[in-house]
Amino acid sequence: MARKKVQLNYTGKDLEHYEALMEVYYQVTGKMRQRKDEVLDRSNAEKRGVTTHMADVSSDNASHELGLRQLSEDGDVLALVEDALERLAHGEYGKCQDCGEMISEARLKVRPYAVFCVKCKSKREQMES
């Protein structure tokens, strides 16, 4: 099935949403690139045997782990942003994927890639915990 052509000449609210999404997108991709470089730098340094003290090794590993975990969280956000862009292109943006109600503009401002309204989101969080 042919994919619907993504419409890029947004106006008004759609344009605002589009720009907010793209801002998050660039922020996250920029951050990821930076962090990937840092993680690479660190493992290169380890290979060269720069770190010799045991205490340094363990703290290095801890921040390495953290870096990797952070990378996958950023990846999640990117996927959400891409989904939101897709919904925007189909005029579905801002609709809660659970109850179909519109997500408040205030919430979209904080989290442009939000999938659920506040009500459904907190319901889900309660179920998860």
Cα–Cα distance, 32 to 34 (Å, whole number): 5
Least distance to Zn ion, CB of residue 106, Å: 15
Least distance to Zn ion, CB of residue 120, Å: 3
What does the block give as tokens for 64? 């390495």
Q: Which is nearer to Zn ion, 58 or 104 (CB)?
A: 104
Least distance to Zn ion, CB of residue 118, Å: 8
Q: Which is nearer to Zn ion, 33 or 119 (CB)?
A: 119
What does the block give as tokens for 103? 């997500």
Q: Which is nearer to Zn ion, 71 or 120 (CB)?
A: 120
Question: Nearest 5°: CA angle at 72, between 67 and 78?
Answer: 125
Least distance to Zn ion, CB of residue 119, Å: 5
Torsion sign across C-alpha atoms 79, 84, 88, 92: positive
Contact predicate 93/74, CB 8 Å: no
Cα–Cα distance, 101 to 111 (Å, whole number): 16
List contacts with Zn ion (CB under 5 A).
Answer: 96, 98-99, 117, 120
Q: Which is nearer to Zn ion, 33 or 124 (CB)?
A: 124
